[in-house]
Amino acid sequence: MLSDPRGHVAIDSSGMLMEASGDVAAKVGDTFVVHMDREALNDYPLGLYDVTVEIVTFEKDRENAWTVHGQLDLGHVYGYQLEPIQEGTLVTSYYDWSAAEQSWKDAAIFPVIPESALRATLGILARTVAPGKPRPLARPNERPPQ
């Protein structure tokens, strides 16, 4: 799901990812195209556009990270780390803009996607791969809200 271009579209909570084309990512350097609509966020009037997703970290069933190339190459990275736990797989989403050029950092556009959207995407992922099951807990003594 996380290395499949269509999987990215299926679990996206931002509403920006419209469709994807390309093969399932299997190694660093693999790319695929995502057809985007920034108007879903109602923040920047970019309209419809395409980006190329380039895999920058790939460890099968452990980590998948990518950067985005398009009209604006910001230098930020999105990724997922996967950790096997007793309840299933703990998935951590991360977003790193530390390598972005200073001019982009100074423009105060980061984070491009709010943390709430990244968290929502994890919820969509959980119900997509394990419908009806509770999300795995990060710590054994942590309990879901009542």
Count CB atoms within 10 A of the CB of residue 124: 13
**Which architecture characterizes domain 5-129 according to CATH?**
2-Layer Sandwich (3.30)
Q: For the whole model, what pTM was predicted?
A: 0.85
pLDDT, one tens digit per residue, over 42-96 is 777 788 899 999 999 999 999 999 999 998 888 899 999 999 998 889 999 999 9
CA atoms of 122 and 35, how far apart (whole Å): 21
Q: Report whether 55 contacts 74 (CB < 8 A).
A: no
Strand, helix or coil for residue 95:
strand
Q: Sketch the domain layout of the chain as residue ranges.
A: 5-129
